[in-house]
Amino acid sequence: CSTAGTGNEAVVDLDSHRSFARLRTVCIGTLQLQGSAVIDAGALFVIHDVSPAQYEDTEIVRVDLTTYAVRSVPLGGAAWIFAGLGDIWVETDSTVSSLVELSPSSLRVVNRFADPDGTWGFLPFGGRLWFIDNYSLKTLNPISGRISVVALPWLPTGLSPESITSSGGQLYLLAASQKTPATAIATYNPVSGAHRLVSETGLGGGAGLLGVTGRVLWVEPPGGNMHEVTAYSMQSLRPLVGGFSDGFLNGTWTAVPDAGDLWFQIAGDPLECVSGRTGRVDTELRLPNTFGSQNIAEATPPGFVAADATNLVVAANETHGANPSESGIAVYALDPRCHA
């Protein structure tokens, strides 16, 4: 990774043909390119593989997006990172799975919660962390450490929670049967108890809710080895007519709801920003050093992507992903068309 050698490599808007020069390349070594990254409190937080040969040899890296100063802290077995409730959270998958709460400014460990069952998919909402465990919706109080089960008596008999996300003051819940293809998507206000449920016919068990951007609820229907993400209306809870729907072999693409849009990329293809208002593609962005191939195994794997109101941050693959030791973080100005 070379800050001087890659500083002028631009992202190109394939619709407007406008170029966006790289603002900065931050070299921090080998990255977990298919891991997660998040922007919060003016900084990027990402998982760094200190030694790829050692699965648990990981650390959390913080990059200030104003000064580009880098700070890191060792955290073994880091598998997923997200922001919420004023802090940074990391799910670890080592000898004993855990959820670790970090200060966004110092990366100091604020709290560590044991997760013996390996529960993933925590959602920060209303001062608590919400998650699904053993077919039940539960919450974790980060102050007391208490776990509570949330009663959902209005769910149809035979359906149990499978996935959750949120927008504003309400939760979006996907429920499915363990024995039949029956599925439903619901909105639920935990304060008032108000809820609305729509039965689905084309999802079945194994579906998931990716997130909400603007007016779009992003749903991941099940597909075995093939998987996709589809735009649903957050009002009707039905697929948007003419809305975005795409996917490919599992592990060959990434979809990230961030900064009001969905960011979607298949290995070797342009990065698409999909409008959070219309559920349609705003534009396609060609990333530098992205290598496409008819043989998907030879194409550059999709790395992490994160965005805020002004920045687009992606993994900087200098050799088409073939030499991860030459990877870094590339920061670009956000294409205004991505908020068209």
Three-state secondary structure of 118-174: CCCCCEEECCEEEEEECCEEEEECCCCCCEEECCCCCCCCCEEEEEEEEECCEEEEE
Q: How far apart are CA 134 and CA 268, in angstroms?
A: 38
5: confidence class by pLDDT, cuts 50, 70, 90: very low
* pLDDT (0 to 100) of residue 321: 42
DSSP 8-state class, residue 290 = -
Residue 6 binned pLDDT confidence (cut-offs 50, 70, 90): very low
Q: What percent of the chain has pLDDT over 90?
A: 59
- 108: number of CA atoms within 13 Å, CB side? 3
Cβ proximity of 22 and 6 under 8 Å: yes
Strand order in the sheet with 43-49: 37-40, 43-49, 58-64, 70-74
Mean predicted confidence (pLDDT) in 75-98 = 89
**Is 33 within 8 Å of 45 (Cβ atoms)?**
no
Q: What are the backbone angles phi and psi of residue 254, rounded to the nearest 5°? A: -135, 145
Region of poorest pLDDT, from 8-12, 30-34, 203-207, 224-228: 30-34
CA–CA dist 184, 41 (Å, integer): 36
Residue with the larger pLDDT of the pair 92 and 222: 92
Average pLDDT, the chain: 86
Q: Report the range of poorest mean pLDDT among 123-132, 165-174, 231-240, 299-308.
A: 299-308
Residues 6+ apart with CB under 8 A from 70: 26, 28, 61, 62, 63, 64
CA separation (Å) from 101 to 50, 89, 122, 220, 233? 21, 5, 12, 28, 33
Dihedrals φ, ψ of 337, to 5°?
A: -65, -20
The pLDDT value recorded for residue 304 is 83
Token pair for residue 224?
């075995």
CB 210 within 8 A of CB 195: no
Residue 97: closest CA among 121, 72, 66: 121
Bigger pLDDT: 299 vs 51:
299
- The confidence score (pLDDT) of residue 53 equals 57
Torsion of CA 279, 264, 311, 65, to 10 degrees: 140
Q: pLDDT (tens digit, 9 = 90+) per residue, 96-138?
A: 789 999 999 999 999 999 875 666 689 999 999 999 988 899 9
- pLDDT exceeds 90 at position 150: yes
Which residues, at least 6 apart from 34, have a Cβ–Cβ distance to it below 8 Å? Answer: 251, 254, 301, 302, 303, 304
What digits encode the pLDDT tens for the residues 30-65? 555 446 789 999 999 998 887 765 667 889 999 999
Q: What is the pLDDT of residue 235?
A: 93
Share of the chain above pLDDT 70, in %: 87
CA-based nearest residue to 212, from 151, 247, 166: 166
Top pLDDT among 4 and 295 is at 295
Cα dihedral sign, 203-207-210-212: positive
The confidence score (pLDDT) of residue 327 equals: 60
Considering only residues 155 and 315, tell me which one the structure prediction assigns the higher pLDDT: 155
> Residue 125's pLDDT is what?
96
Mean pLDDT of 261-289: 93
Give the model confidence (pLDDT) of 236-273 as tens digits.
999 999 999 999 888 788 899 998 999 999 988 999 99
Rounded to whole angstroms, the Cα distance separating 159 from 166 reads 20
Which residues have a Cβ under 8 Å from the Cβ of 239 and sit 6 or more positions away?
202, 219, 230, 231, 232, 233, 245
Does residue 315 contact residue 33 with C-beta atoms inside 8 Å? yes
Q: Which has more confidence, 94 or 27?
A: 27
Whether the model pTM is above 0.75:
yes
